[in-house]
Amino acid sequence: MARITLEELNELGDEDLEEEEEPMEEEEQSRLFTHWEAVASTHQVSLPQDMAGPIAEMTRHNQTREPVPYVSISQHEKCEETAYEERLYPAGKWACITKGEPKYEQSISLGFMKLIRYICKENSLARHLGMTVPVVNEIHLNKEGTELLPDVLTAYYLPGEFQLNPPLPMDPEIQIIERAPLQVITRVFYGTTTEETILREIHLLWELLGSPDNVLRETYMVAAYQNPGVPNRRNEIWFIRRAD
């Protein structure tokens, strides 16, 4: 099956892809599709033609992205810069899908391609729901901590107006999950998100933290904020505090 990476559509291009009031002309939609097809190819994935409509829909709403709410508990500095931050994310409803492709990039591609359709009208309200950031990928490591396991859960936070009554997905693979409050330790990193870079960032944060007992060691999250066309795009690695 053809795929597009999770981050390909998380935030569409800032220079040319501006929000439009009127339906997009066929020529412009074709240009937009070609742009994202080229971006997808850099990740060794192909973009199916039926994603042209959802891409155009996301572009029209490109300027509005609702942040996932959280409370900052503490910030820790090293060399006068923030090394990591501890946050509390309140309980909330997320649209989630799990995929287990051979590569991390393939799993998030296939998962988010389905989520983007849900966001762009393939829901019980038949309307665009609006984008939230970050989109979060939950990953699992083997016991040795040397590689990622195939299954990756990709999660989209429902905008505030839909938290009480989430629109139902048309795709049976997508589940609406109520997540309990989540306390995480986060560290920003920039650039690509591959298995190699993720493992590197996990190792770096463990070095900063030492060995706290109340942090999960086999489950982590990767938060994506920007599109992959941005050379130094922002991401975060999240360590999860154990629930009391």
pLDDT band at 2; cut points 50, 70, 90: very low
**Residue 38: per-residue pLDDT:** 75
Q: Where in the sequence is the domain holding 71, given as residue range(s)?
A: 67-241
Q: How far is CA 42 from CA 74, 86, 91, 176, 210, in A?
A: 37, 34, 36, 31, 36
Report whether pLDDT(40) > 90.
Answer: no
Task: Choose between 38 and 125: higher pLDDT.
Answer: 125
Residue of higher predicted confidence among 69 and 65: 69
Instruction: Say whether pLDDT at 236 is over 80.
Output: yes
Residue 79 forms part of a structural domain:
yes
Residue 186 has pLDDT above 80, yes or no: yes
pLDDT given for residue 229 in this prediction: 61
- Predicted pLDDT of residue 185: 97
- pLDDT of 42: 67
State how many domains the chain has: 1
pLDDT at 8: 47
Cα of 47 vs its chain's centroid, Å:
18
CATH at 209: 3.20.80.10
DSSP for 77-94 reads: EETTEEEEEEEEEPPEEE
55 is a domain residue: no
pLDDT at 24: 66
Nearest-10 crossing angle of helices 104-119, 52-60: 70
Higher pLDDT, 45 or 96: 96
CA 80 to chain CA mean position, Å = 29
User: Is pLDDT above 60 for 5?
Assistant: no
Whether the pLDDT of residue 224 is over 90: the answer is: yes
One-letter amino acid identity for 164?
Answer: L
Q: Which two tokens stand for residue 199?
A: 């493992």
| pLDDT in the model for residue 112 | 86
Residue 32 within any structural domain of the chain: no
Q: Is residue 31 part of a domain?
A: no
- At residue 79, the pLDDT reads 74
- Above 60 in pLDDT, residue 222? yes
Question: 121 lies in a domain?
Answer: yes
Check residue 63 and give its pLDDT: 67
CA atoms within 13 Å, Cβ hemisphere of 114: 21
User: Mean of the pLDDT values across residues 220-234?
Assistant: 83
Residue 4 lies in a domain: no
Q: pLDDT tens for residues 102-139?
A: 989 888 888 888 999 999 999 999 999 999 999 999 99
> Is 40 a domain residue?
no
In a domain, 44, yes or no: no
User: What is the separation of C-alpha 122 from the centre of its chain, rounded to a whole number of angstroms?
Assistant: 19
Please, where are the H alpha helices in the chain?
26-41, 52-60, 104-119, 195-209
Structure tokens at 6: 């999770």
Tens digit of each residue's pLDDT (9 = 90 or more) over 126-172: 999 999 999 999 999 999 999 999 999 999 999 999 999 999 999 99
